[in-house]
Amino acid sequence: MANVVGIRSYDYVEFYVGSAKTVAYWFAKALGMNISAYKGPETSHRERCSYLLESQNLKIVVTGALQPQSSEINSFLSLHGDGIKRWSVVVDHVEKAFDYAVKNGAVPIVRPTKLEDNDGVVYHSAIKLYDDTELVFINRDEYKGVFMPGFGPALQKIELSSEDTALKGIDHIVGNVRTNQMDQMADYFNKALDFETFIDFGPGAISTQYSALLSKVVRAKDNVVKNPINEPYKGKFKSQIEEFIEQYHGTGVQHIAIETSDICKTISSLRKNGVEFLEIPDTYYDLMRQKNPDIKENIDDLQRLGILMDFEGEGYLLQLFTKPIFDRPTFFFEFIQRNGKSEGFGEGNFQALFESIELDQEKRGNLV
């Protein structure tokens, strides 16, 4: 069933960061992405600079402030630290998507706007999601240039020493909200974007002996985009979601899952490039060997690379999570490969995963 908002797919995500140039370098060198466009003083924008990084369908923009009066970026950074300001979806018609969303309860942020240069026209608009996070509707059917007006070609070409990391695009984007806000946020998505609640992890479904959380997954009815929403739940100690809310000073995007066509290749390259992942205990793989699952990959390889596996229905997924990538214990990445008909989120791994997160939380003094 087509979604009535006309969403085709995820498009770019934009981070606000302390130094766009340095973070762009990390994305290029550590994740093996290409810097393909740039916006800044050289393209007549004096208050901010942005770098576009790409790998197949994955588009990441990193933006930093150049002037103290770049208040939107500076106030975001002083409150949240580096993090996701906006994520976007390509829609058939920007004005129709925006009107539908606002009529159905979305808070408008950017009214439908036409951006134009010699290469054509890009339409965009935005609605509010989390505290300081926006969802952008974008259409560039009539645009032939690099990304969107304001951006020019990359100024410098970074020679990548890393191999191809096989990153394909976004699989899902996850938000964290405060206690008692998850249902409200799921309703907001479902009404404004005509989404549906696809999975509901209630009390007790996701917990360790120390901490717990609740989660609902909302998605477009044709499954082109899917968005889990987490909230803290009472446990013996502080929920990892509560730690996020405290350290981020608000609600926002917790992680983005990037789909890969070859997760062993991806994780092997990323480890060589110095990316840090959550550590998975050997007992996890001993248990997997006992289950003797029907998978193409070799469990020894998965153990060496620390990759998790989960089985559901007629398919299975392989996944792994980075440690938080910025200074604060907030945003992280997931890498995921879906084999066969796999639609879940690694439910079978929650236990191993959260125990690993708790070890790090304890080191930070935040598991109290």
Binding site for Fe ion (CB under 5 A): 257, 334
Tell me whether residue 52 or residue 229 sits nearer to Fe ion (CB atom). 229
Q: How far is the CB of 207 from Fe ion (least distance, A)?
A: 17
Tokens of 341: 């008909």
Tokens of 129: 């999601």
CA angle 256, 261, 264 (to 5 degrees): 90
Minimum CB separation from Fe ion for residue 148, in Å? Answer: 28
Nearest residue (CB) to Fe ion, 130 versus 143: 130
360 vs 348: CA distance, rounded Å? 21
Rounded to a whole number of angstroms, the minimum distance from the CB of residue 199 to Fe ion is 12
Nearer to Fe ion, 23 or 229 (CB): 229
To the nearest whole angstrom, how small is the minimum distance from the Cβ of residue 304 to Fe ion? 23
The 8-class DSSP code of residue 323 comes to P
- Specify the residue, 63 or 322, whose C-beta has the smaller distance to Fe ion: 322
Looking at the Cβ atoms of 134 and 334, the one nearer to Fe ion is: 334
Run of H or E including 280: none
Please identify, using beta-carbon distances, which residue of 35 and 257 lies nearer to Fe ion. Answer: 257
Q: How far is the CB of 73 from Fe ion (least distance, A)?
A: 27
Place of tokens 């929920």: 239
What is the number of alpha carbons within 13 Å of residue 268 lying toward its C-beta? Answer: 11
Q: CA 30, 31, 32, 38 torsion: positive or negative? A: negative
Q: Tokens 């796999």 map to which residue? A: 342
- CB closer to Fe ion out of 26 and 332: 332
Element (H, E) at 61: strand 58-65
Where would I find the H helices in 155-211? 182-192
Rg (C-alpha) for the chain, rounded Å, is: 20
| Residue 312 C-beta: closest distance to Fe ion, Å | 14
Rounded to the nearest 10°, the torsion over CA 114, 116, 119, 120 is: 40
The Cβ of residue 69 has, within 10 Å, a number of other Cβ atoms equal to 8
Lookup result for tokens 């153990």: 303
User: From the CB of 340, what's the least distance to Fe ion, in Å?
Assistant: 19
What single letter denotes the amino acid at residue 43? T
| Residue placing its CB nearer to Fe ion in the complex, 139 or 260 | 260
The one-character DSSP state at 324 is P
Chain center to CA of 273: 20
**Minimal distance, residue 337 CB to Fe ion, in Å:** 13
| C-alpha torsion sign, points 87, 310, 272, 244 | positive
Taking the complex as a whole, the smallest distance from the CB of residue 174 to Fe ion amounts, in Å, to 5
Q: What does each C-alpha distance from 193 to 10, 196, 197, 217 come to in angstroms?
A: 14, 9, 12, 14
Report which DSSP code applies to 143: B
**Nearest CB to Fe ion, comparing residues 243 and 334:** 334
Between 140 and 255, CB nearer to Fe ion: 255
Residue 28 CB, nearest distance to Fe ion (Å)? 24
